[in-house]
Structure 1
Amino acid sequence: MYKNMVWEVVFADKDYLEKNHDTSLKVVRAIGKGMEFTRDNPRKAAESITSYFEGIDVEILEKSLIGLKDTFKGYGEMNQEAWDNAQDPLVEFGEMSGVSTKQDTTEDVIWTNNYIKEAFKK
């Protein structure tokens, strides 16, 4: 379940995306390339973020990135199962999470891969 779960998400206002389409694609591409770099070079990625984790050895950061490697799919593509896997425990433990209602997790309702597809089309 945890390998196919939405972990990190970038939210954007639909009007902003439409008015700033090229900028949006550049941001998506930069995030996707960052994911690719982290997946392919966990040591270098760990070294590049060490300053943000004061007191944490680079080896620990590297191991953490290696452990998360399977969650970095492609350039950030998501699927409905991943959204359900993230949402279900929140609803199940609603008293703690504050989430009591399931949302429609169908693609293009609250999330989309369209910008990733466009940013990385060959």
Structure 2
Amino acid sequence: MKDFYIHFLKDMFTGLGISESVVYFILGFLSISIVYLLLKPIVRILVLLQWDKFLTFLLSSVFVLALTVSFLILTSESAFGHAAKVILGFCSFGFLLCSVQLFRLLLSTGKSSKQSVTQKV
């Protein structure tokens, strides 16, 4: 079904005299524009919440995923199995990052409560 839409769009644009490479350029440009417009409010909220570590994790994950997919396409290996392993690695790193942040939050909360108890005495 997916191939049908791709071939339909290619046939439609090539029928208008637009080459296949320009069709893929337009498709890439439109898709990144839509994703940008959808993510912009979410990023603003994350910046206001000062979740800089989470934003750094997301950006680095996207960068590594893009490099991995590009490499897999160039080597023409089975992309799904390798991409699944990369995504599992991202999830594991994200879990580790969240665990460390939670641990630091609990330590800082414990220290601040101890300091307030000693100040009251």
| Alignment TM-score > 0.5, same fold | no
Larger Rg: 2
TM-score (norm 2): 0.29
